[in-house]
Structures are given as structure tokens and as C-alpha cells.
Amino acid sequence: MMRTALLRSAIVLALACAATAAAQPPEAARRLAQDAVIVDTHIDAPGILVGDWADLGQAVPGREFDYPRAREGGLDVAFMAIYTSAARDEDGSARQVAHQQIDAVEALAARHPDRFALLTSPGDVERLRAGGRVLLALGMENGGPIGDDLAELERFHQRGVRYITLAHSGNNRIADSSYTLEKRWNGLSPFGREVIAEMNRLGIMVDVSHISDAATAQAVELSRVPVIASHSALRHFTPDFERNLSDELAKAIAAKGGVIQIPFGNAFVNPQAAANTQAYFRAIGEFDRRNNERAAAGEPLEDRRAFVAKWDAEHPSPPTAIDAVLDQIDHAVKLVGIDHAGIGSDFDGVDGNLPEGLKSVADFPNFIAGLQARGYADTDIRKILGGNFLRVWAEIEAGAER
């Protein structure tokens, strides 16, 4: 009996190992992941660090970014998203929350100087990544923390912020959001135009992800250096989803010398998930409007958490294959050329709703294997993985008025 049990255990183990080996990407993809400079321009770890602390220098099950998996996947540069919601902007807490998140990223790097380093310039990548360190750069998702004070831009620049997504899920002082039905400025506000000029002066990248079509077009036109889309897919696959870029806007960004960083989340690359996301933001906007009216009338407020939970239960994210992301890359390359495509995953920012094979930062070799299978040369894959973005960042930095 014991021998039989041992034999069965050995067979089960062998089958499990064989299945794991079969799921591994080819050696060529793993080698390229470790050798190339991989830059992911959007990871939402900071907000989670503040709200539910974990030591990301160690393996943290349940998160999509931590040091061990970053090194397993070959990630070199991780832009930490300093995210503040439209509600934070409205109640005046956005600036404080942004600084708290920056503090958290700085503390993480200080706790593990052998594993992380803060990155503020593309010229420092090779030096700082030596020894297997993952470089943490800062991007501010939503310009709300600057309030209406241009001087805040320089303060955040001094703290390491190197791109700013002008708005997020609601219209703000700077620009209209892609998610809102009613636009406030028909693009950029007068203050938003000043913001772009000051960002150009400082060398802060103008990020057009999340903002309306009109605001994107105006930002591209006004900026005297290239602009980026830190995590925006292409609307070609998701009709009527303004959050993704139209072909026309993608071409305009590329013509200005910018780069489009394709995200991985289902909501960006799966048509049904995109439609659900658009509908959600409109529904939650209407919910908040009703609650504001109730508050003004002195009536009891509806439970926002219950509304969101019910919505999520009724709109589960559809299963999505990795091919949906690869199709986005293919379309971007055909549309704007190999020199203007990159990756901005949105790991830790999409509630785990990610394609099969792209569940964490450990999975970049799967992405590389997919590109290799589609005939991309390794030199072009290197551009997509980070070369294009680093080139654009260097150009924007060089354009700053020192």
C-alpha cells in the first residue's frame, strides 16, 4: 500500500511538473526579458501601500507587483502611480494623499537599497539597475494634487514626479475626463494650458491617458515637446470607449514624437469589459449626483459601497486571452510605427481583471513570447519593452528649461 501511494504521489508530482514546464515561455523569451530594459509606465502599488501596507521587497501573494516577481519577469523600471481620485480633489485631500504615497515609495526604496532605487532621469537607468535593482519612478495619476497653484508642479518635480496624468475619472481644474458625459471645459481649462507650459519647462511628461478627446488633441498641439499616453489602449477594438485612443489621436501623439503605452487590463483590451467600464463610470457619476442632491436636501444618503458591490456582481469581467493585448500592439505598430509603442500594464489597478498569461510582473516573458511568435524581431521587441519610452523621456527632459 505504501509503495502504491508513493508511486501515485510521484506520478502526480511528475505530471504537475510537466504541466508547469509546458506553461513556461520559451527560453528565448526568458533570456530577452532578463537582458532587455523593461519599462512599465503604470503600476498602482503606492495607493495600496498606503491603504494596506505590505513589504514589496518580499513576495506578497495577492499583489501584482513585488520585487521577486519583478526580477522573475525581467522588469527594470516600474513607474509607481501616485493616484488620487476625483473625490479627493473635490474634498481638498488630494495633495496630502499624493505626498503620503510618495513617502511610501521612498520608504520602500530606503528599506531595500539592494533591491530598489528611485529613478528621476532616463540617463541613470543603466547605472542604477546594476546588481538587479528594480528602479522606481513616479507618475502622478490625476493633476488634482497641484490644486490651482502652478508652484506645486515644481514641488512635485523636486519629489521625483516625472509625468502627470492631467485628469482621471472626473473633470478637474486642468482638463475634462474621458469618462464624464458632461464636459466642463470642452478640452483643457485656461489653467490647464498654463499647467502644460510649466510641465514642459520643468521636464515633466504630459500624460493624456484618461482625458477627453478634445483635451488630448489640445494637449498634443500645445506641448512643445512630445506627450505620452502612460496606459491607454486603442479604441479601434473598443468602439465608443473614449478612455482609449482613437486612431486619429494616436497618430497625432506619434507625429509629435510621443509614445503610446498599451495597458493589459481587460477593461482596456476586451470590448465587453470596456463597455462595462464606460457604463460603470457613468452610473457612479449619476449615483454621486443623486447623493449630492440628497445631502443638499438633508435626506439620507445611499450606500456607495453597496452600489459598487452590486454593480461588480452584475458585471463580472469577461475571460480575456493574452492575444487581446498582442492585437493592440499589432494595431499600434501598423498605425503609428514601431517607434511609438510601449507598455503601461496598470498592474495592481484593475482588481485582478487581467488576461490569461499576464497576471503579474512575473509574466513579461509571456508577452515577449507572444510577440516573437507573431514575427517581431528582438530589436523591435526591445523598443516596445522600454526603448521607445526611454527615448521620448530623454527628449522631454532635454527640452526642459534649466
Give the model confidence (pLDDT) of 64-87 as tens digits.
999 999 999 999 999 999 999 998
Q: 158 falls in which pLDDT band (50, 70, 90)?
A: very high
The mean per-residue pLDDT over the stretch 221-226 comes to 98
Please report, for the chain, how many H helices and E strands are present, in that order. 18, 9
> E strands within 310-390?
341-343
The pLDDT assigned to 34 comes to 98
The mean per-residue pLDDT over the stretch 125-138 comes to 97
Q: What residues contact 190, with CB distance under 8 A and at least 6 apart?
A: none
Q: Is pLDDT above 80 for 331?
A: yes
Task: Tell whether the torsion through CA atoms of 86, 344, 176 and 100 is positive or negative.
Answer: positive
**Region of poorest pLDDT, from 273-277, 331-335, 370-374:** 273-277
The pLDDT assigned to 306 comes to 95
The pLDDT assigned to 289 comes to 85
The mean per-residue pLDDT over the stretch 132-153 comes to 98
The pLDDT assigned to 401 comes to 78
pTM for the whole structure: 0.92
Alpha carbons 40 and 265: distance in angstroms, whole number = 13
Contact of 67 with 124, CB cutoff 8 Å: no
The pLDDT assigned to 282 comes to 85
Tens-digit pLDDT profile for residues 160-209 = 999 999 999 999 999 999 999 899 999 999 999 999 999 999 999 999 99
Q: Is pLDDT above 90 for 15?
A: no
Residue 212, amino acid: S
The pLDDT assigned to 285 comes to 83
Correct CATH for 27-268+320-398 of 1.10.357.10, 3.40.50.720, 3.40.50.1400, 3.20.20.140: 3.20.20.140
Q: Could you tell me the residue ranges of all domains in the chain? A: 27-268+320-398, 271-316
Average pLDDT, rounded, for the chain: 93
Q: 16 falls in which pLDDT band (50, 70, 90)?
A: very low
The mean per-residue pLDDT over the stretch 229-233 comes to 98
Tens-digit pLDDT profile for residues 232-250 = 999 999 999 999 999 999 9
Residue 375, amino acid: G
